[in-house]
Chains A and B, each alone.
Chain A
Amino acid sequence: MNLNNKAKKTKYKMSPIAKKEERIAWLFIAAPIIGFLLFMAYPIVYAFIASLTKWTGTRSMLDTFCGFDNYVRLFSDAKFWKTLRTTTIYLIGIPIGMILGIVLAMGMNRKIPGVRVLRTMYYVPVISSLVAVSILWAWVYNYDYGLLNMIIKFLTGKHGPNWLGDETLIKVSMIIFMVWRGLGNSIILYLAGLQNIPRSYYEAALVDGANGWQKFRNITLPLLSPVTFYILITSLIGGFQVFVEVQVMTLNGGIGYSAATIVYYMYQKAFEGFQLGYASSIAVILAIIIFIITIVNFTFQDKWVKTMD
């Protein structure tokens, strides 16, 4: 991001015209700033304060102040750890999606006629309504009448497994679904990345006698690393917020709560159990987790993310 173009020019005294420009500029950016303060900054502070109470939405919040009790309880809350674990397991879908994405993008990067239509087909799940496709996939996974088990029965003659009725399979099912939905996005991003790599790099490699794998390993992959980084960051942030899939595809988080994610647990605590204080402490932990992940990502970025120059 080229933010460092033209640093501060206005160091000492500002001219009246510059002052006027500054005032008007502030006016122009006032809306997003007010929006930020009102609907982002204030809620974050509020969430932290609420997390220190046992508030259930009735009467006054601060009367139920309880210090860090919620966090202590959270620490020994088996459901919290379970949902945190499930949320993390779902992240397996990220590398799977990336690998498939690179492979398919490389296939599409060959100038084959008709490939544009295919690209669009891969992208359709991305822009489809998440609720609608979750409904659809719950039906696809149905034990007796779902598409998947009917295909299995057609091919093997045996009844397929209960995709959404087993603690392990339900996670596999969710991951397949998430990869399906996100694949088009990583293909588009990788394809753009590939098209951005100057042909001269490969020509130089050819002179050096590099084979296909070496070219992939030493040119393609490193030069795609900014895209990989972008996908990683956005998928991690998205991955910690999985909710709709669980809400629509399972009943009460699936068998033994095995499909429930951290946001789903928080939602249930807040808007079904009305334990707003306790749910807020989950929110704060979630914010901290995402904050740490983002920091770690940006810190280690230099180690593996290459730029073109």
Chain B
Amino acid sequence: MAKDSSKGVSSRKSRFIDRIVFVLLALGAIIMIFPLIYMVMTSFMTKNQILSGKLNIIPNPWVLGKYSEVMQKGSFVSGIINTLKVEVPVLLIGGFTSSLAAFAFAKMKFRARNGIFLVLLATIMIPFAVIMIPQYVLFTKLRWTDTLLPLIVPACFGNVSMIFFLRQNLTSIPNDLMDAAKMDGCGFFRTFIQIFLPLMKGAIGTQLTLWFMAIWNDYLAPTIFLRSESNWTLQVVIRSFNTYYAIQSDYALIMAASAIAMLPTLIIFFAFQRVIIESIAISGIK
């Protein structure tokens, strides 16, 4: 904060402070990601090195086989496939219903619009823990607990935070467009598809990316609703790896599995970090 106001004379002092600040920030950043680096390093170590009780970060020797070993575990692969089986329909259908609703809330006129919107928005505050037992009973009675449906169907009805962000995004688009479309006798659905959907493309992309990561990392719902191992999503699988392979002291394998499980979200984050961070930042300042 000092820097902005004190140009010129004190700029050398300011640059010096900058350097110190940078070093401190960098130190903090290294501490932050060090455990993750350690995780990757451990996945390349031998069991003896891991259990040596001495501080060593660099694998010696490097054991490269754990990653292919993980990828050959049937349950790990089926975990990835199951997660994708949830992701695809949810993002397609849920993304569509959410955009449509956001469009209606932002650009169409109907009674109780704001009231309904507020009620939906308030549901963000309802903890999943409160409704998980009734949902479990509901899905059991529907005999869904042997399928992935408990993770797919509710999400297809739309995602409130996505509706909220898209609605915010749409309010910045002038209403003239809407009026022009009405004049032309263009139906609402067509207006949505042909005019607004293309305009929201960027915002929808960002929201779907965030949603993708949330589904990928979800654990509590899958662990409650999915009983058969063949339906487990990736997070449930790596948690079971943690219990099972710890007994064989195969920590390298556990770390390798965890590292692979983190990889997709990391790649996506690095690819889209500018828009993702912007979108997160907006949520804080409304």
Contact = CB atoms under 8 A, between A and B. Distances in A.
B255 A136 contact: yes
B190 to A, nearest CB: 11
A188 B125 contact: no
A32 B98 contact: yes
- Which DSSP category, helix, strand, loop or mixed, fits chain A's interface? helix
A154 B57 CA distance: 12
18 contacts: A1-B286, A28-B108, A32-B97, A40-B131, A42-B134, A42-B138, A44-B134, A110-B3, A112-B25, A124-B36, A127-B217, A128-B217, A131-B217, A131-B261, A188-B280, A241-B127, A243-B220, A248-B242
Contact of B130 (A216, A220, A287): A287
Contact of A25 (B1, B109, B135, B138): B109
Instruction: Say which size band chain A's interface belongs to.
Output: 35 or more
Contacts of A165: none
Interface string A1-18: 111110011100000001
B1 A216 contact: yes
A202 B4 contact: yes
Nearest to A202: B5
Interface string B108-130: 11110110111110010111111
B53 interface: yes
Nearest to A216: B1
A77 interface: no
Interface stretch (B63-71, B199-207, B266-274): B266-274
A72 interface: no
Nearest to B239: A131
B58 interface: no
Interface string A99-141: 0000010111111101100111111110111111101110110
Contacts of B247: none
Nearest to A27: B104
Contacts of B262: 128-129, 132-133
Interface in A197-233: 199, 202-203, 206, 212, 215-216, 220, 226-227, 230-231
Interface in A1-58: 1-5, 8-10, 18, 21-22, 24-26, 28-29, 31-36, 38-40, 42-44, 46-47, 50, 57
Contacts of A26: 110
A124 B32 contact: yes
Nearest to A287: B130
A170 interface: no
Contacts of A127: 213, 217, 265-266, 269
Nearest to B28: A104
A127 to B, nearest CB: 5
A258 interface: no
A241 B128 contact: yes
A226 B285 contact: yes
A132 B134 contact: no
Given A32-B120, A47-B131, 9 more contacts: A28-B101, A36-B123, A121-B29, A127-B269, A150-B54, A180-B35, A189-B281, A202-B4, A267-B129
Interface of A: 1-5, 8-10, 18, 21-22, 24-26, 28-29, 31-36, 38-40, 42-44, 46-47, 50, 57, 104, 106-112, 114-115, 118-125, 127-133, 135-137, 139-140, 144-145, 147, 150-151, 153-154, 180, 183-185, 188-193, 196, 199, 202-203, 206, 212, 215-216, 220, 226-227, 230-231, 237, 240-241, 243-244, 247-248, 263, 266-267, 270-271, 276, 279-280, 283-284, 286-287, 290-291, 294
Nearest to B17: A110
A128 to B, nearest CB: 5
B188 interface: yes
B88 interface: no
A22 B111 contact: yes
Contacts of A24: 104, 108, 188-189
B9 interface: no
Contact of B1 (A3, A106, A230): A106
Contact of A124 (B28, B136, B216, B266): B266
A270 B225 CA distance: 13
Contacts of B163: 32
A130 B219 CA distance: 8
Contacts of B224: 267, 271
B277 interface: yes
A115 B3 CA distance: 15
Contacts of A39: 131, 135, 154, 157
A28 B188 contact: yes
Contacts of B55: 147, 150-151, 153-154
Contacts of A108: 25
Contacts of B133: 43, 47, 50, 270, 276, 279-280, 283
B25 A3 contact: no
Contacts of A29: 100-101, 104-105, 116
Listed from nearest, the 3 A-B pairs whose CB atoms lie closest are: A35-B157, A192-B281, A43-B134
Interface in B13-42: 17-18, 21-22, 24-26, 28-30, 32-33, 35-36, 38-39, 42
A139 B255 CA distance: 9
Nearest to A17: B182
Contacts of B255: 135-136, 139
A104 B21 CA distance: 9
